[in-house]
Amino acid sequence: MLETVKNLMLAGLGAAVLTKEKAMDFMKQAVERGELSASEAEKVAEEVVAESKRQAKAWGDTLNQAAREAAANLDLASREELEALSARVAQLEKELAEIKAAGQAQDS
């Protein structure tokens, strides 16, 4: 499911880039036809780039939120929980080794 969401977002980013390219072509043609000055075309191009960046960030934020929600729905352990369990296992292994060593010392 997460992979599908990711692919949809990436497809959306591709569409945004394509739209930007088409807009740039349109502006170039408008300048050549005298419908738009070069400075106006540059301003529009900057606006298109800014909007594209804003949309890319928004889509990235949405994707991150979807990933967090998907992970929460899977009821996976957090990094902190895994680190705590790892530390606990290490402590138990140490205690077990000490118990074994004490048992071997008594057998001798």
Q: How much is the pLDDT for 8? A: 53
| Owner of token pair 């990933």 | 67
Co-location of 31 and 8 in the same domain: yes
- 34: alpha, beta or left, given left = phi > 0 and alpha = psi -120 to 50? left
Co-location of 35 and 7 in the same domain: yes
Co-location of 41 and 94 in the same domain: no
Residue 12 and residue 14: Cα distance in Å, rounded? Answer: 5
Q: How much is the pLDDT for 16? A: 59
Q: How much is the pLDDT for 2? A: 40
Q: How much is the pLDDT for 5? A: 45
Under-70 pLDDT residues of the chain? 1-20, 23, 108
Co-location of 58 and 106 in the same domain: no
Co-location of 10 and 26 in the same domain: yes
Domain that holds residue 95: 77-108
Co-location of 70 and 108 in the same domain: no
* pTM of model > 0.75: no
Q: How many domains does the chain have?
A: 2
Co-location of 61 and 97 in the same domain: no
Co-location of 40 and 11 in the same domain: yes
Task: Give the tokens for residue 41.
Answer: 């075309």
Co-location of 100 and 70 in the same domain: no
